Amino acid sequence: MLACHLNLGARAFKILRNAPYSGQHDSASPFGLPGPRWHLSSLVEPHRDADPMRGMANRKLTHLAAQPDAILLRKGIHMTALEKLNHGLRTFAQDVAQGFFAITHSGLALLGLAVFCLVVTLTMRPDLRTAGEARLISWLQERQVEETGFQTDFEAVDRATATDPTGLPKQQASIAFWLSRKYRVAAEPLGALVAEAYELGPRNQLDPTLILAVMAVESGFNPFAQSPVGAQGLMQVMTKVHSDKYESFGGRLAAFDPVANLRVGVNVLKECIARAGSIEGGLRLYVGAANIEDNSGGYAGKVIAEHDRLKRVAQGQSVPTVQPTATAAVAQSVGDLWEKAQKLASFKDKEEDVSR
């Protein structure tokens, strides 16, 4: 082993001795004396030698060339200014690359941890997720308004009182379409009102078609209708009198919400029928509750007649949407009388001819 190291040292000295001389002296020699300068690039032979010992010497010198200047100086090996600059730039680039890798690696790890914590928090707190979604949608809408000048509202469809009648049971769909033709109201909002009436009816021991008949006579399915005395909404409920019933819906302005007005009106109608003991009597009381003038039971008669028609529609019968008016009935009677008079006149003329 000792012989091997001695042989390696001899070969290294031989290569250093044969290295090209720069012609300059370096005052920073290991012993403080001027000495020759060799190019480090010539210390490593560019070819592989078949001799194992020579290859080992080359690798040893390659290792020396990759070391910093301080180590090389301690070992007695000198570098030119260009080689020092090249070596310094390479070392700086390596340090920058390693630092950038370390910072990027740590930053990505921190970002992943933050995302994980955010997902866990949103999973545990649905209210925060909902608030965040609402805030994001609001920000997007504001951006859209700034760019296009057109304000949108994705929640408008949730506030709309409308249902596709074709998705309702056959009985309810028939009533919705019949009311739409008669009162010239869109079938979709009527579909929602019919479905709501069929849900409220059994819970309040009322026929759903009776509830719809009251709406038809009271407001003609206009949710913003108002009488001269202050009855408001679909069921024409006196908001001032029954303001306490609207408290659970957010206040008196809920009278103009179709569903809220319908529910309050059904509650009032149920109380009136319970007090009167009959539908007709309850309708008369409801007129008083709605503060609508009733002449000789005309209001109750109209509601009961519309109720009968709606029951026939629900049974699948064909019911005309246009009822003959009083003028038309009188005209029909006059026409019938005129036809009878003509027949009598022709019959009398025949008798006179026979007698002659």
Judge if 60 and 169 occupy the same domain: no
Judge if 175 and 303 occupy the same domain: yes
Q: Is residue 197 part of a domain?
A: yes
Residue 333 pLDDT grade (very low, low, confident, very high; cuts 50, 70, 90) = low
Residue 153 pLDDT grade (very low, low, confident, very high; cuts 50, 70, 90) = confident
Structural domain of residue 48, as residue ranges? 2-79
Q: Is residue 336 part of a domain?
A: no
Per-chain mean pLDDT for the chain? 75
Q: Write the pLDDT tens digit of every residue in 119-148.
A: 888 788 888 878 887 888 778 777 777 777
The span from the CA of 160 to the CA of 210, in Å, is 24
Mean pLDDT, residues 4-11 taken together: 50
Q: Which residue has the higher pLDDT, 130 or 271?
A: 271
Structure tokens at 190: 């009527």
Residue 234 pLDDT grade (very low, low, confident, very high; cuts 50, 70, 90) = very high
pLDDT at 61 over 70: no
Q: Is residue 155 part of a domain?
A: no
The span from the CA of 60 to the CA of 336, in Å, is 132
Total domains, the chain: 2
The span from the CA of 333 to the CA of 324, in Å, is 12
- Neighbouring C-beta atoms of residue 78, cutoff 10 Å: 22
Q: Write the pLDDT tens digit of every residue in 240-249.
A: 999 999 999 9
Judge if 29 and 169 occupy the same domain: no
Q: Is residue 348 part of a domain?
A: no
Single-letter residue type at 16: L
Residue 96 pLDDT grade (very low, low, confident, very high; cuts 50, 70, 90) = confident
Judge if 67 and 189 occupy the same domain: no
Q: Is residue 304 part of a domain?
A: yes
Number of Cα atoms under 13 Å in the Cβ half of residue 80 = 13
Of the spans 84-93, 157-166, 259-268, which averages the highest pLDDT?
Answer: 259-268
**What is the rounded (10 degree) CA torsion for 263, 266, 270, 276?**
140
Alpha helices (H) along the chain: 2-18, 52-65, 69-74, 81-124, 126-148, 156-159, 170-183, 187-203, 208-219, 258-276, 279-289, 298-314, 326-355
Judge if 56 and 192 occupy the same domain: no
Judge if 174 and 70 occupy the same domain: no
Judge if 176 and 297 occupy the same domain: yes
Q: What is the CATH number of the domain that holds 185?
A: 1.10.530.10
Q: Is residue 119 part of a domain?
A: no
Q: Is residue 44 part of a domain?
A: yes
- Neighbouring C-beta atoms of residue 32, cutoff 10 Å: 8
pLDDT at 220 over 70: yes
Q: Which residue has the higher pLDDT, 283 or 289?
A: 283
Q: Write the pLDDT tens digit of every residue in 287-327.
A: 874 445 555 458 889 999 999 999 999 999 999 987 654 44
Residue 331 pLDDT grade (very low, low, confident, very high; cuts 50, 70, 90) = very low
Q: Say what the pTM is.
A: 0.55
What are the DSSP calls for 133-188, one per residue? HHHHHHHHHHHHHHHHS----TTHHHH-----GGGS-HHHHHHHHHHHHHHT--HH
Q: Is residue 145 part of a domain?
A: no
Judge if 296 and 189 occupy the same domain: yes
